[in-house]
Amino acid sequence: MENQTKNNSIQIDNFQRPVLSLRISITNRCNINCFYCHHDGVIAQKYEMDPSEIERISRVARNLGIKKIRLSGGEPLIREDIIDIVKKISALGFKDVSLTTNGTLLENYSEKLKETGLNRVNVSFDTLNPQTYRFITESNYLEQVKRGIKKAVSVGLYPVKVNMVLMRGLNHEEIWDMFQFCKENGAILQIIELLKTESCPDTDFFDDYHYDIGIIENQLMKKATNVKTRSFMQDRKKYFLEGGEIEVVRPMDNTEFCKNCTRLRITPDGKLKPCLLRNDNLVDLIEPIRRGDSDDELEKLFQKAITNREPYYHKC
């Protein structure tokens, strides 16, 4: 803890983008099998970091001015030590500690997560239809997810966001039903346009299910009482409607996303990942940690990763 604020100045990459957040994928394991999942842009890992290693990486990130931590997977709640991980990270004094989950275990964990310092949660939940849910996830957890969302709201995690990936012919006509569910239960709906990545290169799949989110945005523009643009969140638009709001997440494969990217990522096996869409410029942290390198040496590796950051889609 003594080095927590040693530097604490925001790092800027070579394209004048501040590095404000760190997304730590703490596992590749998951208890459902969504057919569109891009696994957070990382390939399968053979092992996972332990809580003290995750804490160490988070502390170094805090020293370098990173303000926010998001835990993801796979499914992070599948780890039996998730409460210990959240407790260690939240003790470091970040502005925001959040978690992305599929919601299947959220009912059981919400209260403890809140008590140990988690601020907010995003729940991947694409449909209210049991058959569609079963088709997308190869599971029958729909009612558990709904209860988990309600529980997270009730214990004071805020905001609770529902991430809904739009897929033509599957759920694109459910948007207003999902909005109503979120509004009634105190959650916020995020609609996400399907992304084509190297981990899902099937052109036929993308063509079959891709739905142009611009169609929905045109509807939202007509219905919204107010619209805000989140400049440090890839210029995402937030539409305020009667009794609720909808945030729109455009695909990451565009120059606007790259221009406004402020995030570094950590793979489950402890490698810094400067870009979601690349795996050829990773910087290993876990081997230096395990051989006893100092925080100063780890900071240099972070700075190397920041130097390696460049827009995947140029002309930014």
Average pLDDT, integer, range 281-290? 96
Q: How far apart are CA 132 and CA 166, in angstroms?
A: 12
Percentage of residues of the chain with pLDDT beyond 70:
88
Asked if the model's pLDDT at residue 241 lies above 60, the reply is: yes
Of 50-54, 71-75, 275-279, the poorest mean pLDDT is in: 275-279
Q: How far apart are CA 56 and CA 155, in angstroms?
A: 29
Nearest to 102 by CA among 68, 152, 54: 152
Q: How far apart are CA 189 and CA 179, in angstroms?
A: 6
Give tens-digit pLDDT for 197-238.
554 445 677 788 999 999 999 999 999 999 998 765 556 899
Helix axes 51-63, 82-90, angle to 10 degrees: 20
Task: Output the pLDDT for position 231.
Answer: 62
Q: What residues does each domain of the chain span? A: 14-308
Give tens-digit pLDDT for 92-140.
999 999 999 999 999 999 999 999 999 999 999 999 999 999 999 999 9
Nearest to 167 by CA among 140, 137, 145, 187: 137
Alpha-carbon separation of residue 293 from 61, 271, 301, 303 (angstroms): 15, 15, 11, 15
- CATH assignment, 14-308: 3.20.20.70
Asked if the model's pLDDT at residue 250 lies above 50, the reply is: yes
Q: Count of CB atoms within 10 A of residue 280's CB?
A: 6
258 band by pLDDT with thresholds 50, 70 and 90: confident
Q: Which two tokens stand for residue 188?
A: 């916020």
Task: State the pTM of this model.
Answer: 0.91
Higher pLDDT, 171 or 202: 171
Contacts of 290 (CB under 8 A, 6+ apart): 53
Cβ-contact 205, 260 below 8 angstroms: no
Nearest to 226 by CA among 250, 244, 249: 244
Percentage of residues of the chain with pLDDT beyond 90:
74
